Amino acid sequence: MMRQTAVLNMLTLGVTLVLLGQSTGAQRDPRRRAAPTSKAACCEDMRALKVQLANVSSLLEELWRKQETEARGLTRQMLELERRSQNQEARVTEAEGKYSEINNRVEIMQLQTAQAVTHTSAEAIYDCASLYTRNYKISGQYKLPADEFMGTPELEVYCDMETNGGGWTVIQRRKVGLTSFDRDWKQYKRGFGAIRGDFWLGNDNIFRLTRQPTVLHIEMEDWEGEVRYAQYQHFTLSNELNSYRLHIAGYSGNAGQDSLRYHNNTNFSAKDKDNDKCVDNCAQLRKGGYWYNCCTDSNLNGVYYRYGEHRTGTDGITWYGWHGPNYSLKRVEMKIRPQNFRP
């Protein structure tokens, strides 16, 4: 502000001087040469004025230069500040990333510590029920730690901590309909899909989880939004050598006639492994992996059809006891928990 005023003052002075110079020049008009005696004095004045003008011009020039330099300095400073704030932002992002990573590690370590403490006891963490008894009571995705003692790998699971007291490890879900269940033996063995969406947990994992006495709960929803269930007090699979044969007993439920009983004591089949009890290849006909008999009373790993699309085919997600063979369900969830679980 001060500098600007100074510059303005200088400018005013310059203009005044120029005007003065002009008025002096007017006195040199030959038609008005009434006072020839002042000619020498006039020229002296002019020279002095010219010098002053030159001085003022150089002063102004210097001032402009200074201002320009300052402006350049300011721009540099602003750029520097901007660069620093960008750096800080990057650091914050990095810190956030590290924080969530550490958080994640802490959670896993907590699980592992809990497991190490009870390593030899019956309370080792290997399913959602053991998580529940360790006060993890919110439904969602969990990571079960690897267990060297049992020789089991780390496993992502979805825990239902609400239905009938919680503690359920979800082994299958159909609700989105984008994941194909028409898969081969290897994929059914390892598991596939998204743990928060549609998935099969994997026959090896289900086999492992059902080595203790286990309950199976099947939740089904139709396109009217009605929900029914079928529950088996006993549920277990054989190992791979025995084709993950299904063993169920102790049915209860409200989904009509028991539609899994027909599949009891049958081997698992996939599109590349026909273990069914039929001349046909049921897995290929029903487009899923399942404990096919000859072929189905239920087909929970069948093709996901939107309401009304499934009329004549035999490959939908069906439960004959409730909606018959030509109605494909909107949502299915199969979940397990130990028989001795107490909420």
Catalog residues that contact Ca ion under the rule CB under 5 A. 274, 276, 278
Q: How far apart, in whole angstroms, are the C-alpha atoms of residue 170 and residue 195?
A: 9
- Shortest CB 328 distance to Ca ion, Å: 23
Closest CA to 240 of 200, 190, 299: 190
Least distance CB 277 / Ca ion (angstroms): 7
Quote the tokens at residue 229.
């269930």
Q: What is the DSSP letter of 146?
A: P
User: Which phi-psi region, left, alpha or beta, contains residue 283 (left: φ > 0; alpha: ψ -120 to 50)?
Assistant: alpha
Which residue, 170 or 246, has its beta carbon nearer to Ca ion? 246
Nearer to Ca ion, 270 or 336 (CB): 270
CB of 341 to Ca ion, least distance (A): 37
Local structure of residue 263 (DSSP, 8 states): G
Question: What size, in residues, is the chain?
Answer: 343
Q: How far is the CB of 273 from Ca ion (least distance, A)?
A: 10
Nearer residue to Ca ion within complex by CB, 45 or 274: 274
CB closer to Ca ion out of 123 and 297: 297
CA distances from 149 to 112, 115, 116, 145 (A): 13, 11, 10, 12
CB nearer to Ca ion: pick between 56 and 246: 246
Q: Are 218 and 334 in contact (CB under 8 A)?
A: yes
CB of 120 to Ca ion, least distance (A): 45
Taking a C-beta distance cutoff of 8 angstroms, is the pair 248, 226 a contact? no
* Helix pair angle (2-27, 39-117), 10° resolution: 160
Which residue, 259, 253, 256, 235, is CA-closest to 245? 235
Helices (H), 165-257: 185-190, 203-209
CA-to-CA separations, 190 to 185, 200, 252, in angstroms, rounded: 9, 9, 30
**Identity of the residue, 257 or 284, whose beta carbon is nearer to Ca ion in the bound complex:** 284
Q: How far is the CB of 276 from Ca ion (least distance, A)?
A: 4
Centroid of chain to Cα 244: 34
If the CB atoms of residues 222 and 276 are measured against Ca ion, the closer one turns out to be: 276
Cβ at position 285, least distance to Ca ion in Å = 9
